[in-house]
Structure 1
Amino acid sequence: MEYLNKPTRWPAGSDEADLENGGDEEEDDAPPPRSVSVARTPRLTEFAVTAAFSSVPIFNKKFKDWCREYWWGVYVAMAVFFIFYITLMCCQGVRRCFPCNLIILTFFTLSAAVMTMFITASYSVESVMIALLITTGCSASIILFAATTKKDLTSCLGIAYILGICLLLFGLMTCIFVLIFHWYFLHIVYSALGALLCMFYLAIDIQLIMGGRRVEISPEEYIFAATHVFVDILTMFFHILGVVGRN
């Protein structure tokens, strides 16, 4: 993962006094122009493929029954998903090397689509559609907020990390209490907290991609950026489905 801190830019022709006084403040405060369109294509492709796979069990009851019968397929898809996800996140050389990065991204997208297909097949159509509408509305609102607010959310990366660890520990406790005491309501609480945390992550990642903040992602890391946003929204959908879902 590579971040770029905003460099100090001195205007051409600055004399020694200007340098000692900090240079041209207006020039230094202006963020460099930046475009996020380079990450838009892989991100839209990931969502399109995932939506196409997930719609099959909705419109084909026989296939939905097949997914429920072979429910273990979701764990296979999940394992493949995590393998390629870790590869994209941890191996900078892989995600920057063309066409290797696109090949890895293709398998990552397909595994995510198959995993989502199995998960949505275990819920009613109404639950999936409600979760989809809520996720779409929340994602659009968060992206708009992150793009327009003057608040630098990238300075909250430490807080986001701590909240993620807390949610992980709460999830482990939820599994224990559900298995031993059958407190199934904790699953809803965990899903609600997870959805809120994913919204926070999404807002931070949008500002990391846009740039002009305290921390930003290099334009060369468009695969990394697209994967981050895709996982944020997909995980948010799963958590919302866990709250409103009826399986």
Structure 2
Amino acid sequence: MESTPLLPEDENPFSEKAIRNGFVRKVYLLLSVQLLITFGVCAAFILIPQVHDYAVQNVALMWAAILCYIVLVIVLACCPGIQRSFPWNILMLFALTIALSYLIGSIAATFTLTSVLLALGICVLSCVGVTLFAMNTRYDFTSWYGYLFMISMILLLWGFLFLPFFGNIGLTQKIFAGIGAVVFLLYLAADTQAIMGRKSLKISTEDYVFAALTVYLDVINIFLFLLQLSGQQK
């Protein structure tokens, strides 16, 4: 009787490691497309004045984008059934991406081109560096989720309660932006490890849309905080 030869774990399509590797590829493919859309929209807002002028003149469209983003991020984050339902999960992910890209483009267009390019360059280098470090270090950043959540809530309260009154003070803005950038870089490290599945907490391989969304939001927040930290408005 012939027996089926055993395949190495990396080559066995049904092994846990192979499934996880396929999941990682899918997540980063989605993330790459999301970021291309976002920075493509930003480029249009910055380089084509008519696009930005149209957005400024159509405030209703801005509010529609905000509402769309809020609704979709809640659905994708809180409804696992919908989040795993193909193709609706992909459609909602990219609808969210387009809505958020519209908002990011509107914000980026208020800064000088040099400021945006500087923030983008620092963001790319920082995110790539943190991602590679998180993939290769033995340290478990996923154990930081609780602390990062608490710091995020403090930042949120700070943003709502203090910045409206002290936001015109340059140092206050810089401190807020600097802390925010560091927090989301740590989130990126933790989310990267959760996606890789090698630490104490990991994202299920069924939740590829949720995984792409979390890393995408990490990168966008890092970019916005860096823009606030180093950017010069027009």
TM-score range, shorter chain: 0.7 to 0.9
Q: Find the structure with the greater CA-based Rg.
A: 1
Q: Tell me whether 1:76 sits opposite 2:64 in the alignment.
A: yes
**How far apart, CA to CA, are the structure 2 residues paired with 1:197 and 1:70?**
34
2:114 maps to which of 119, 123, 126: 126
The superposition leaves residues 85-143 of structure 1 with CA deviations (integer Å, 9 ceiling, x where unpaired) of 11100011111111111121121111011111111111111111111001001000000
Aligned residue in 2 for 1:215: 201
Q: Tell me whether 1:143 sits opposite 2:131 in the alignment.
A: yes
Letter in 2 for 1:60: I
Higher deviation after alignment, 165-174 or 78-87: 165-174
Letter in 2 for 1:175: L
Q: Alpha-carbon deviation of 1:172?
A: 2.6
Q: Tell me whether 1:110 sits opposite 2:98 in the alignment.
A: yes
Aligned residue in 2 for 1:199: 185
Q: Tell me whether 1:188 sits opposite 2:174 in the alignment.
A: yes
Identity across matched positions, percent: 28
Q: Residue 216 of structure 1 aligns to a residue in which SS?
A: coil
Aligned residue in 2 for 1:239: 225
Number of positions where the alignment pairs a residue of Structure 1 with one of Structure 2:
214
CA contact (8 A) 2:123 2:223 kept: yes
The superposition leaves residues 134-176 of structure 1 with CA deviations (integer Å, 9 ceiling, x where unpaired) of 1001000000110010001111211111211222222233324
**How far apart, CA to CA, are the structure 1 residues paired with 2:82 and 2:191?**
21
Letter in 2 for 1:98: F
CA contact (8 A) 1:67 1:121 kept: no
Unaligned ranges ≥5, structure 1: 1-31
**How far apart, CA to CA, are the structure 1 residues paired with 2:61 and 2:89?**
26
Q: Alpha-carbon deviation of 1:213?
A: 0.9
Letter in 2 for 1:114: Y
Return the TM-score normalized by structure 2: 0.85
CA contact (8 A) 1:198 1:232 kept: yes
Letter in 2 for 1:112: L
Higher deviation after alignment, 166-175 or 60-69: 60-69
Inter-CA distance 74–236: structure 2 relative to 1 (3 Å threshold): farther
**How far apart, CA to CA, are the structure 1 residues paired with 2:68 and 2:106?**
14
CA contact (8 A) 2:27 2:212 kept: yes
**How far apart, CA to CA, are the structure 2 residues paired with 1:169 and 1:57?**
30
Return the TM-score normalized by structure 1: 0.81
Q: Alpha-carbon deviation of 1:188?
A: 2.1
**How far apart, CA to CA, are the structure 1 residues paired with 2:61 and 2:119?**
22
